[in-house]
Amino acid sequence: MKYVINGVRYHVDTWGTGFPLLLLHGFTGNSEGWKEFAPFWKDHSKTIALDIIGHGKSGSPPDIGQYQIEESAAVINSLLEKMGIGKIDVLGYSMGGRLALTFTINYPEKVRKLILESASPGLRTEAERHERRIQDKKLSEKIRQEGIKNFIDYWENIPLFQSQKSLPEKIRTRIRCQRLANSIDGLANSLNGMGTGVQPSWWDELAHLEMPVLLITGNLDQKFCRIAEEMSKILPNVKWKTAEDAGHAIHVEKPELFGTIVSGFLSQTGENNTNGSKD
């Protein structure tokens, strides 16, 4: 399905029936990355997979302001209104997790449950954000100078995705095709508009989120395990699951486990979790 919001085309895929579950992919990804989970969640969730601005089949406008994470959260709100949806569950991975958290903080009344896979509330200090902006600007220039293929060759080999090298070739090829389907302008503008360096720090807002929150990390991704541990001490109604022998993208490396964890969390009712529970 296609929707036009503020002059930008947005692509959305939907599967299944039940309570709406919004799915938000990571940087260089798209909605296709969630398709295999439809069988896991079809009995309890109507999945709504969005191509985030600058990715997949959604538009890649030149205005960096349209990529800002709070602007993208407002777009999601408008999208839900167009679809006639009031309240939702939200699942976001990495960049999509930062967007999911931003949407939840800005529109808490719209979110029943929140799931964050390898996601961060942002950088705490302006000094950290400044340094990250410099790094992201260099990356965006690399994309524009070298093109998508050369950038994806580089991106696939950063330490964050090292654990994916042991995946079957068929899966690695599928992921690579999704990444290569993006545009130069889309990825470059996404880095400069929605990167961690330009988003607000949401650490101080975590304590105000009353809905059930599930954090998922891979034990090989120590950076995001540390972030999840810190988040779990602040969020009032949280569960934290760690997948063994998995890195940053648990849904890619351990799809059956990921699907089962998410399904179990969404199917639970009457939760009253203690702060920082982990299993």
- Please provide the DSSP assignment of 158-170 as one string: SGGGGGGGGS-HH
pLDDT value of residue 270? 59
Q: Strands, DSSP E only, in the chain?
A: 2-5, 8-15, 19-24, 45-50, 88-93, 111-117, 213-218, 238-243, 277-278
Query: Are β-strands 277-278 and 238-243 bridged in parallel, bridged antiparallel, or unpaired?
Result: parallel
Which residue positions in the chain have pLDDT lower than 70?
270-279
Contact in structure between 124 and 176 (CB atoms under 8 Å): no
User: Quick one: 2-121+200-278 is in which CATH superfamily?
Assistant: Alpha/Beta hydrolase fold, catalytic domain (3.40.50.1820)
User: Is 134 buried (19+), middle (13-18) or exposed (0-12) by CB count in 10 A?
Assistant: exposed
Tokens of 58: 């959604």
